[in-house]
């Protein structure tokens, strides 16, 4: 009998999908071995053990987590998000998120439009992307900011600039990548450039600096400005261009051979970096209540600045 069917027959309080997820998460052992495939065939003599984690809270809880606040007023708060922080709670990340920290800092002030799991969240950064974010504290601010992000700055002052360390150097030092982005047909956990069924995605890029021998540069620092805001847009677009981000485990894994060819010190620095080399360096928008145009910048975090120094020494 299949492992998921075996468990479903003996644990009727759990749905089949819930049991499958517990298997995939490595919480089921058969004969003392962890099994992660639901289709595994269970033999009669085998002992099956299952670990059921405690239920996660239905609503995020306030936590005392320090925030780097660039600006705060009655309507919004602008923060400098560190790499490694998840923006909002999700399965496997119920605590330690930006939302938990914001609830601890703002209490009940956060806008409720985003729902109980995402109060005040107007836009997001990937867990391992650092940099500037704005969060709404009132519903009026949330509506105003959401309208600007939906417009992508085409008729207003919204401005977003990111710094990315990429493998190689684009043939054109400035350019625009315009594609459709949707779920990858090969891996639904990833995004990809698709021919149909995706959403319009536009990224403007400029090469700021190159690293390594002039005749054969190893990498480049690129500024990316977004005209749209799709999931993983910069990571997908730069990989589509043939220049994925250094350290990107999802879209740049094919470039591990480049890491192996680096001098030992540089190779160690890249391997120790542990995330995609992407930083949200600038965010500009119109204050949704006062109408004032505001621009915020974030300096490169220490880990990325150090990695750039290593590449400059090549």
Question: So which residues are the catalytic ones?
Answer: 126
What single-letter DSSP state applies at residue 233? H
Q: Measure the CA–CA gap between 183 and 185, rounded to whole angstroms.
A: 6
Q: How many CA atoms lie within 13 A of 3 on its CB side?
A: 27
The residue whose two tokens read 């492992």 is 3
Structure tokens at 83: 């790499």
Q: Which residues pair with 139 in a beta bridge?
A: none
Q: 153: which 2 tokens? A: 């700055």
Three-state DSSP at 118 gives coil
Q: In sequence order, which residues have a C-beta less than 8 Å from that of residue 107 and are 6 or more positions away?
A: 62
The CA distance from 85 to 125, in Å, is 9
N-terminal to C-terminal alpha carbon distance within the chain: 57
Compute the distance between CA of residue 53 and CA of residue 51 in angstroms, rounded to an integer.
6
Count of alpha carbons within 13 Å of 125, Cβ hemisphere only? 28
Residues counted in the chain: 314
The helix, strand and coil proportions of the chain, stated in percent and rounded to the nearest 5, come to 25, 30, 45
Going edge to edge, which strands form the sheet with 28-30? 33-34, 28-30, 48-50
Report whether 124 contacts 88 (CB < 8 A): yes
Radius of gyration over every alpha carbon of the chain, rounded to an integer in angstroms? 22
User: Is residue 32 classed as helix, strand or coil in its secondary structure?
Assistant: coil
């Amino acid at each position: 009998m299949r492992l998921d069917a075996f468990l479903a027959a003996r644990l009727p309080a759990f749905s089949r999908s819930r049991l499958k997820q517990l298997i995939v998460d490595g919480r089921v052992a058969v004969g003392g071995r962890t099994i992660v495939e639901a289709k595994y065939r269970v033999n009669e003599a085998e002992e099956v053990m299952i670990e059921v984690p405690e239920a996660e809270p239905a609503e995020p809880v306030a936590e005392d987590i320090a925030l780097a606040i660039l600006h705060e007023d009655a309507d919004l708060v602008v923060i400098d998000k560190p790499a490694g922080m998840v923006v909002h709670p999700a399965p496997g990340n119920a605590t330690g998120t930006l939302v938990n920290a914001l609830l601890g800092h703002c209490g009940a002030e956060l806008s409720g439009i985003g729902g109980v799991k995402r109060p005040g969240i107007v836009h997001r950064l990937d867990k391992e992307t650092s940099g500037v974010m704005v969060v709404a504290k009132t519903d009026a601010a949330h509506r105003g900011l959401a309208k600007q992000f939906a417009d992508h700055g085409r008729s207003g002052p919204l401005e977003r600039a990111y710094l990315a360390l990429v493998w190689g150097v684009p043939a054109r030092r400035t350019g625009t990548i315009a594609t459709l982005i949707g779920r990858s047909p090969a891996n639904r956990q990833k995004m990809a450039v698709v021919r149909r069924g995706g959403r319009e995605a536009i990224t403007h890029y400029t090469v700021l600096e190159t690293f390594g021998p002039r005749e054969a540069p190893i990498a480049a620092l690129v500024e990316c400005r977004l005209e749209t805001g799709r999931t993983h847009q910069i990571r997908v677009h730069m990989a589509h261009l043939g220049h994925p981000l250094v350290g990107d485990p999802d879209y740049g894994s094919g470039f591990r051979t480049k890491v192996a060819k680096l001098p030992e010190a540089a190779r160690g620095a890249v391997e120790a970096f542990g995330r995609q080399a992407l930083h949200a360096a600038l965010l500009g928008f119109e204050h949704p209540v006062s109408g004032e145009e505001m621009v915020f910048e974030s300096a490169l975090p220490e880990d990325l600045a150090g990695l750039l120094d290593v590449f400059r020494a090549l």
